[in-house]
Amino acid sequence: MSKLGLLIDAASLATEITMASNLGKMQQQGMAAPQNQQFIHTLRDHIFKYNEATKNILDFEARNPKIAAGAMRLLEMRIMSTTITPDLFFELNDKEYVSNTIRTIKENARRLTNQLAEADRQDVENTIAEVSRISDYSYYLDNVEKLQEYKNNLEASQGSGSGLRLLGFLGIGLGLAIPCFASFSLMFTRSSGGSSAYSIFGLIIIICAFIAIAVGQKGVNAKKNAEKIRGFFDLEQLEHLDAEFHGDTALVRKRYQTAQDVLKNFFGDANLLLP
Give pLDDT tens digits for 111-120. Answer: 999 999 999 9
Which pLDDT value is given to residue 2?
A: 45
Q: What is the residue type of 205?
A: I
Which pLDDT value is given to residue 103?
A: 96
pLDDT above 50 for 175: no
Q: What is the mean predicted confidence (pLDDT) over 31-44?
A: 70
**Whether pTM exceeds 0.75:** no
Give pLDDT tens digits for 260-270. Answer: 888 888 887 76
Which pLDDT value is given to residue 158?
A: 63
Q: Nearest CA to 19 among 40, 33, 45, 47?
A: 40
Q: What is the mean predicted confidence (pLDDT) over 153-178?
A: 53
**Rounded Cα gap, residues 37 and 32, in angstroms:** 9
Q: What is the mean predicted confidence (pLDDT) over 172-178?
A: 49
Which pLDDT value is given to residue 184?
A: 46
Percent of the chain past pLDDT 90, that is, above it, reads 24
Confidence class for position 72, pLDDT limits 50, 70, 90: very high
Do 74 and 270 contact (CB within 8 A), yes or no? no
Q: Where does the chain have alpha helices with state H? A: 10-28, 33-60, 65-81, 92-114, 118-131, 134-157, 161-186, 193-230, 235-245, 249-267
Task: Give whole-number Cα distances, 179 to 154, 207, 272, in Å.
Answer: 39, 14, 79
pLDDT above 70 for 187: no
Which pLDDT value is given to residue 176?
A: 47
Which pLDDT value is given to residue 32?
A: 53
Q: How far apart are the first and last CA of the chain?
A: 10
φ, ψ for residue 215 (rounded to 5)? -65, -45
Count the Cβ atoms, other than its own, within 10 Å of residue 98. 22
* 30 vs 77: which has the higher pLDDT: 77
Do 133 and 251 contact (CB within 8 A), yes or no? no
Q: What is the mean predicted confidence (pLDDT) over 209-228?
A: 61
**Range from 73-77, 171-175, 176-180 that averages highest in pLDDT:** 73-77
Which pLDDT value is given to residue 1?
A: 38
Which pLDDT value is given to residue 168?
A: 47
**Rounded Cα gap, residues 250 and 13, in angstroms:** 23
Q: What is the mean predicted confidence (pLDDT) over 137-149?
A: 88
Which pLDDT value is given to residue 38?
A: 75
pLDDT above 90 for 207: no
Give pLDDT tens digits for 244-263. Answer: 999 999 999 999 999 888 88
